[in-house]
A and B are shown apart, each in its own frame.
Chain A
Amino acid sequence: MKVKNFLADVRGASRVTAARMMAFDAASPALTDVDPIGNVSREWHPGPIELVVTGINPACKTAKTIRFERTDGKKLPFFYAGQYIVLDFKIGESLISRPYSISSAPYEARADKPFVEITVRRSKGDGFICDYVNDELKVGDILTGTMGLGQFYYEPLRDAKHVVALAGGVGITPFASMAKEVVNGTLDIDLTILYGSASSDDIVMKEELEALDGACDKLHIVHVLSGDEPGWTGEKGFLTAELIKKYSAEDTTYFICGPQVMYTFLRGEVAKLDVPARRVRFEVFGQVKDIAVYEGYPRDLRDETFELTVVRGISEVRIPAKACESIVVALERAGIRIETGCRSGECGFCRTKVISGNYFVCPEGDGRREADKDFNYVHACAAYPLSDMKIKIPIM
C-alpha cells in the first residue's frame, strides 16, 4: 500500500511505528492465559454441570425434596435466593428439561459440603416429570443442570426492604430459599411469608419452615388455611387484600409464586392494595396447562397433529407436532435437544426461527424482542403449531 511507504517517510509516523516495535520487542514471549474476569463469569455461570442425587426426603405427603451435589464435589455456582435450576432428563426416547425453583439457600451451595435442593410436588395427572421426580428418581442418579436462572429475586436497588411473599402450594420453594438466606444473615430483608394451603397436611416443607420461623426476628411465616380444620388457630381463608395489608409495612415489595389460579385471584387482590406496579413481582408459572383457553387460539385445531420440519445446520428431520402442545414439547418427544429455561415464553433460551408455517404464541409472558417478531422468531416453549411448519434450531 502506498500509504505505508509514504507514512514511513514522515517524521511523526515513524515515531509511532518505532514506539510500537520497541514495545513489542520488550514484551514477554511467554504464553500467559489470564482472563480473571472471564473466570468470575464462569464461576457464576458455568453452563450445564453434572449433578448426582445425594438425598431424597419427603417435604409433605405429596412432595419430595431432592438434594443434588456436583459429581466432582466442587461448590455449586453462585445464585440468588428465588432463582431456578433447569434439569435435563432422559426418559425413554424423550429428552426433557424442566425448571425448578431452588428450595435450598445460596449459602448452602457454597458451604463446606455444598448442595442444592429442589422440592417437587406430585402432579394431579398432567405433569409426568413431577411424577418421575417423585417416583423414579433415586439416590445416585446423575443429571445435568443449569442453575442461577430467572429474575425472581430480591434486588436491593429496586425492592423495598420489607418483603411480603405470597405463596401457594409448592410455590413456597423460592421463599424457602430466601427464608434460609435471611436466617443465615446473608439476605438483609424483613421477610414475611403468607403461605396459603388447603389444609395443614398440604403444607410443603412444613418442618423446615417451622425450624426457620422464629430463628430470626427478620423472618415471619404465616400459614393461611383455606379449609376448616379443627383446632387451627392461625389465619384462615384466602390471601385477601385485607390479610395482605395486615402484614404489610408502609413500603413493601410483594413477591408472588404459586399455581396459575392463585395468580388470577391475587392480581385482583393486589390491585386493591393500591401500591405502585414496581412493588409487585410475579414469578413465571411455567408451561400453560391448556393453550386452548387463550383468546385467539383456534379451538377447532386443538386436536390436530401437524408435520414439523426441523432444520439443524444442513440437515432436516420431520417430526409430528400436536397443535395443543408447544414446539418444545414436540422436539422433546422426538428426542431432539433444544435448550430451554423458564418454559413460560419469557427467557428466550429456546429462541427459534420459523421458516414457514402458522403458529400461535401464548400471550401470557411473551418475552420476544420486537425485531424477532418481525422476522418470525418464536420462543418455542410458548409457540404452538397451527399448520405444517419448518423451523431452524441450534445444533446441540
Chain B
Amino acid sequence: MKFYKDHYDVIVIGGALAGLSSALMLADKGLDVLVLERHNLPGGIATSFVRGGIEIEAALHEMMSIGPKNNRLKVGKFFDDMGVDIDWLQVPECYHASLPGLEVTLHPGLERFSREIDEQVPGTYDKVLKLLKLCDTVFNSVNELSIHPMSKPQMLLKHEAFVKTAGYSTKEVLDTFDLPQKALDLLAPYWIYVGSGFSDLPFTIYSVLMADYVGYGSMIPKKLSHEMSLKMAERAEEMGVQIEYRQHVDKILVENGRAYGVRTARGDEIHADYVISSAYPNKVYTSMIEPLREVPAEATKMVNGRRLSLTAFSVILILDKPAEELNIKDYSIFRGDTMDTDVLYENLAGLGPYRYLTCICHNYGNPGVTPEGTCSFSVTVLPRVDGWKTVKAEDYDRVKHEVAKQLIDDMSDYFGVNLLDHVLECVIETPMTIAHYTGAWNGCIYGYAHTMEDHIVARLQTAEAERFIEGLEFAGAHAISGDGMGPAVTNGRKAAKNILDDIAARKEAN
C-alpha cells in the first residue's frame, strides 16, 4: 500500500509550532509539503492532556507577540494572515513578583508598569520608563530589520539604539541606568523566559522580551494550547499539507552535500527537494544524517561549541477548592529568594532545591478552565539540562518526587495553605517527560543559551556559513529566534522563508 507521494517539495520533521508554521507558510506559496510528527497529535509541548475528566494545559504560561485583534503583533498577525482563527484570551497581568522585600503585581503597558514600580521604589518612574522605551525601540528595530533589508545610512538613521546596544549584555546596559536594586529586581522576573543570567544575556534579547510582554501583555488560547496547535494543523491540511502522525523520522538522506529526503522508523523512504528539521542539530549531526560522512567537521564543532539552554520541570495540580480560598490570587507568580539572575542561573544547573519558581493559576486568565469548585495551579522551574543529565533511570522517580515536593512545599508555605491537602490530580512533568513525548535532545525546550557569543545578531550574521547541508533547514527553539512559543512560530517562518528564497534564487539562476 502506498502511503506517500513519490516526491514532495518539502518534508517537515516535527509537527509542533515551528514545523506547522513552516508548513503553513510554504503551503500558502503553493508548495507541496509533508509533515511527519512522532506523537499522535500536533503541537509538541504546546498541548494538553485529560486527567480525571479535566483537560490540563501541558506547557503554555503565556503567549507573546499576539496583540489585540485591531493591533496584532507579528505572531498574531501571522495566524490571522494564514486563516488560523484562535480564540485568544488576554492574560490579566504581567506577573506577581514575590521577591525579597517585595510583593507586588505588575500590569502591562509601559507607563502603567513604570508607575507600579515607582509606587514600590519612589522616584524611579522616569528612568524605568526610559529603559522600557529603549527596549521598545530596539524591539521595533529587530522586527523591522528581520523583514526589511536596509541600507547602511538608513540603519544608522533609523536604528541607532539597536546598533548601539547590540554588542552589550543586559547587565551592562541596565548598569548605565543607575537604578536602585529593588527597581532592578522588579525589572528582572521575565528573565526565566529567555533563561540566561543578565551578565550573559544580550540586551537585544532582553529588549524584545520586555517590550513585547510589558508593552502589549500576553495571551492564551481559550481551549488551551492544543487549540492553537490543532487549528494550525487543521488549517495546514485544508491548504493541502499532508500531516502524518506517529511517524518517527530516523534518517535524513543526503547526497553530495544536499538533503533529498528522509527515512522513517517504519522504513518508508520519502523524497523531497528540502527538509526542515525540528530535531536538534545535535541529534541530526550525530545520528540522523545518512551517510554520516556527509556531516562536515564544522557542523559537529558548532554543535559541540554551543551550550544547551533550559529544560522544564512542572508540577501541575488540580485542587479541590477555588483559587481564592487557597490564597492564590494571581494568574502568574514569579517567586525567588534573590533576583540576581546570574546566581539563579547557577542554581538551575543542579537538582534543587530550586530558588526561582514560576507559578500559573489558569483560572484567572481562563475562567471555567476547570470545573466549578476547583482550580488549576502549576509550579515550574526551568532547570539547565546539566543536573538532569546525571539522573539515572533507577533514581528518576525518587528525584522527580523530591523536586516536586520541594516546589509544592515552598508554595504551600507562601500561601499559608498546605496544597497537598487539596490535590485532586497531580501531574509531574520532567525533562524526561519532554524527551519522551517530543524527542527533544536531552528534553531541552530552550534550544541554545542566549549568550554574548550565541546572540540573535551573531546567529543572523553567521546563518549562511552555518548551513552545512544544502536543502536542510532547522526550525525549533534551537533556531535563530530561540525559545518560546511565539519565537517558535518565527523560527518556523524563517526556515520556510529560506527555502522560498532559495527556490527564487535558483529560478533566477536558470
Residues of chain A at the chain B interface (Cβ within 8 Å): 1-17, 19-33, 35-45, 78, 110, 151, 155-158, 276-278, 312-315, 317, 339, 346, 348-349, 351, 365, 367-372, 374-375, 394-396
Contact = CB atoms under 8 A, between A and B. Distances in A.
Given A40-B391, A40-B396, A313-B2, A1 B149 contact: yes
B266 A395 contact: yes
17 contacts: A6-B163, A10-B163, A13-B167, A21-B462, A23-B306, A35-B283, A35-B435, A43-B393, A157-B408, A313-B3, A315-B3, A348-B41, A367-B53, A370-B224, A371-B224, A371-B230, A374-B223
Given A20-B453, A31-B295, A157-B423, A394 B246 contact: yes
Nearest to B149: A2
B40 A351 contact: yes
A317 B303 CA distance: 45
Interface string B198-214: 00001000000000000
A15 B458 CA distance: 9
Contacts of A158: 423-426
A313 B348 CA distance: 43
Interface in B268-315: 268, 282-283, 285-287, 292, 295, 297-298, 300-306, 311, 315
A33 B461 contact: no
B168 interface: yes
A56 B287 CA distance: 42
Interface residues of B, number: 99
B166 interface: yes
Which of A25, A31, A39 counts the most chain B CB atoms within 10 A? Answer: A31
Contact of B40 (A13, A45, A339): A339
B315 to A, nearest CB: 7
Nearest to B282: A35
Interface stretch (B88-96, B439-447, B486-494): B439-447
B329 interface: no
A351 B41 contact: yes
Given A6-B163, A10-B167, A27-B301, 10 more contacts: A13-B458, A31-B300, A32-B286, A35-B435, A37-B435, A38-B442, A41-B432, A44-B396, A155-B426, A371-B230
B163 to A, nearest CB: 5
A43 B242 CA distance: 32
Interface string B40-73: 1100000011111101000000000000000000
Interface stretch (B127-135, B150-158, B473-481): B150-158
A157 B405 contact: yes
B408 A278 contact: no
Contacts of B247: 394-395
A22 B53 CA distance: 53
A394 B40 contact: yes
A8 B48 CA distance: 44
A31 B287 CA distance: 9
A292 B473 CA distance: 52
B102 interface: no
B166 A27 contact: no
B301 A29 contact: yes
Contacts of B460: 1, 3-4, 7
B107 interface: no
Query: Which of A1, A37, A396 gathers the greatest number of chain B CB atoms within 10 Å?
Result: A37
Contacts of B306: 23-24
Q: Which 8 A-B pairs have the closest CB atoms?
A: A12-B167, A313-B3, A27-B305, A19-B453, A394-B246, A43-B393, A41-B436, A29-B297
Contacts of A78: 393-394, 396-397
A367 to B, nearest CB: 5
Nearest to A30: B300
Given A13-B457, A35-B283, A38-B442, A30 B304 contact: yes
Given A78-B397, A315-B1, A24 B155 contact: no
B454 interface: yes
A334 to B, nearest CB: 13
B289 to A, nearest CB: 10
A327 B432 CA distance: 33
B393 A44 contact: yes
Contacts of A277: 320, 424
Contact of B401 (A29, A110, A156, A365): A156
Nearest to B373: A277
A27 B302 contact: yes
Interface string B241-283: 0101111000000000000000000101000000000000011
Nearest to A156: B401
Given A20-B458, A157-B405, A315 B41 contact: no
B436 A6 contact: no
B402 to A, nearest CB: 11
A370 B439 CA distance: 25
A364 to B, nearest CB: 11
A396 B246 contact: yes
A8 B461 contact: yes
Interface in B141-181: 145, 149-152, 155, 163-168
B4 interface: yes
A158 B439 CA distance: 29
Interface in B419-433: 420, 422-426, 428, 431-433
B411 to A, nearest CB: 13
A3 B461 CA distance: 8
Interface string B452-486: 11110110111000000000000000000000000
Contacts of B385: 37
A314 B3 contact: yes
A372 B226 contact: yes
Contacts of B423: 157-158, 278
Nearest to A21: B462
Contact of A7 (B224, B388, B457): B457
B392 interface: yes
A20 B449 CA distance: 12
A7 B286 contact: no
A35 B442 contact: yes
A16 B302 contact: no
Given A315-B1, A394-B246, A395-B247, A40 B167 contact: no
Contacts of A28: 300-301, 304
A314 B391 contact: no
Max count, chain A CB within 10 A of own CB: residue among B1, B247, B283, B428: B1
Contacts of A314: 2-5, 242
Contacts of A11: 167
A4 B50 CA distance: 47
B227 interface: yes
A162 B231 CA distance: 45
- Give the one of A11, A16, A30 with max B CB within 10 A: A16
B234 interface: yes
A371 B227 contact: yes
Given A27-B305, A277-B424, A370 B223 contact: yes
A339 B41 CA distance: 13
